[in-house]
Amino acid sequence: MSERKFKTLAELLYWSYANLQMADAACGMGKTKYDRLCFMIRSKAFKAYMEGKWQISDLYKQQIEKLQQSNHACAYCGKVFSSPKEATIDHIFPRIKGGTNEMENIVFACKTCNSSKGDSDMFGWYIEHFGEFPSIYLTANYLKKIYLYAQAHNLLDAELSTLDSLDLPFDWHCIPISYPEPDHFIKI
């Protein structure tokens, strides 16, 4: 299959999020490989996003899991904190790059991960640092943050070729267009 080409940031985000929904559904159904049903889910989601029928949102199940785990473990490596003092606050979009202190931009992280990530793009750093995709929750949160930023700054219809000249709080080159098989998706 040839590499998919995208013209606008919206197309790229919608495709990425539709793939994430496919991965989430496959994991939820206990699948180890994507099958026809999974690809149908992705196709339906992408079409609905492109037609404006759906909007990118949190994956509810992962949001609940985050709330249950957030005070107990690093959002990145999964290290369980022996005390609340071990947890640091990390900004998905670094503050130095315009990230806010809103809850949607904050995760709890161990000092090692927080220090290592610094002001890097969360997704790019994670893959480089751990050699695998982040959890479905982190990926959904990351994509939603990009979507909301793009929406607020009228960038959804921006051509990808123009984004490199902008000072963005994320690296659009790190937006994933495909995901590993469900049995390789970590579940922190």
Q: Give DSSP secondary structure letters for 129-174.
A: HHSSPPPHHHHHHHHHHHHHHHHHTT-TT-BHHHHTTS--SS-GGG
The number of beta carbons lying within 10 Å of the beta carbon of residue 42 is 22
pLDDT for the residue 59: 61
Backbone φ, ψ for residue 128 (5° rounding): -65, -40
Question: What's the CA angle centered on 14, arms 147 and 155, to 5 degrees?
Answer: 40
Residue 164: the pLDDT is: 95
| Residue-level pLDDT at 56 | 80
pLDDT at 42: 95
**Residue of 95, 80, 62 lying closest to 187 (CA atoms):** 62
The answer, yes or no, to whether residue 68 has pLDDT greater than 80, is no
pTM, to two decimals: 0.84
More confidently predicted of 131 and 58: 131
Q: Is the pLDDT of residue 61 over 70?
A: no
